[in-house]
Chain A
């Protein structure tokens, strides 16, 4: 009657260890903070383990847990306004280089944190997780049109903060501009 508990635990552990780094990075972009990201991912894995019987049968376990993570992020964000996630909205752009500088990377994360949660999720899922609009819509539980709209708005707002560096970044990666 069912598989031994220890067998399920081992399977979950193997999955968690493998998926942790990637999900932690995604959570970092959503939460904007290392500790908040770790808490978010751990919470997602707790829920995944509580429903492991269903998760393990999913075609894509990682996508399943990522969806839990996105939902968790949305719930938490409703309780905490975005203003509290960053100390200040970044506005200064370094003329020196692109995102290679740590302060610029921090600025992008901070700028990302100022976005409304749905815009942030759309941007991260589309441009970090590299999901299609339809995949992102499934993860966010909304329509494809909503993903496109939220991502476009989010990019537009990020561009306000980061656009001056854009051409330099493209130059750094091979002068593609």
Chain B
């Protein structure tokens, strides 16, 4: 049991009236058999989760495992929704452009990262909503607003508690919510993470490649219109090339989210293809890194 001496919450004291509970539980757990720790299974399961729609990849921790990419390629002109071809249109910015002067933690700046059409003619868009960093006082309000948007599409999503928000609040990070819309209607498929704010001391490393696979699996009754890899890279990255297994290439456009120091790319998976490698180049065309096992692999 926890014997942390700093745990001085008066409500924590277990008095004689309830000591028997703790003692009983402590005796009960002696029945537990501690066998070999299934590290391999947890690693494999974690990797599977990462590949799924809602798996988040930590900014630095999982970068090489999941995301790194760089390379040059020729264009991807078609993606598939359940196997059928669909046109992909170059991303276009939407909504207001955030600047340092208008940063409002309660007003997100939305950007279209990619868009296209499904086989049955529906228009899909992949959005990034950037919620500028909030101070501690407004972090709860911001979390509730983000949740309200997400909850409208996913009624099972639990509301954030003050304790949770305070525990995981990051003072120098913007919140980024990635999601799909289909014919203008938001889908449940989404992913929420954070990225260093312009004022962050880590802004210079914002480009450490990190990403998420959005829409890889359906959620509830919804099915994402496309399997989409979304990455954030540093401003030093000028070009990314994805090489598919069949030898063809795709060079996704880099998109800025308001004044965020990171740039973003969205790569729809074309029909029946898997990524062979990703390559990152700087603005001068110098190869920065190559990842043979990135997203969409």
Contacts and interface: CB of A to CB of B under 8 A. Distances in A.
Interface size band for B: 35 or more
Contacts of A144: 11
A130 interface: yes
A58 interface: yes
Contact of A52 (B31, B61, B64): B61
Interface in B31-45: 31-35, 37-39, 41-43, 45
A83 interface: no
Contacts of B19: 170, 176
Contact of B29 (A8, A28, A42, A133): A28
B43 A58 contact: no
B68 interface: yes
Contacts of A3: 60-61, 63-64
Contacts of A49: 42-43, 45-47, 49
B94 interface: no
A128 B22 contact: yes
A149 interface: no
B280 interface: yes
- Indicate the member of A53, A98, A99, A106 with the most B CB atoms within 10 Å: A53
Centre residue among A112, A127, A130, A169 by max chain B CB count within 10 A: A127
Contact of A16 (B31, B37, B61, B209): B37
Interface in A86-101: 98-100
A158 B58 contact: no
Nearest to A101: B27
Interface string A27-47: 011000010011000110111
B284 interface: no
Nearest to A17: B37
Contacts of B43: 9, 12-13, 49
B277 to A, nearest CB: 14
A102 B32 CA distance: 12
Interface string B171-194: 000000000000000000000000
Given A42-B45, A49-B43, A99-B28, A127 B61 contact: no
Interface in B1-16: 1-3, 7, 9, 11-12, 14, 16
Given A34-B32, A106-B31, A50 B46 contact: yes
Given A37-B32, A170-B20, A46 B61 contact: no
A135 interface: yes
A53 B57 contact: yes
Interface string B67-83: 11000000000000000
A162 to B, nearest CB: 6
Nearest to A28: B32
A137 B41 CA distance: 30
A58 B168 contact: yes
Contacts of B18: 127, 155
5 contacts: A13-B43, A34-B32, A56-B61, A138-B163, A170-B19
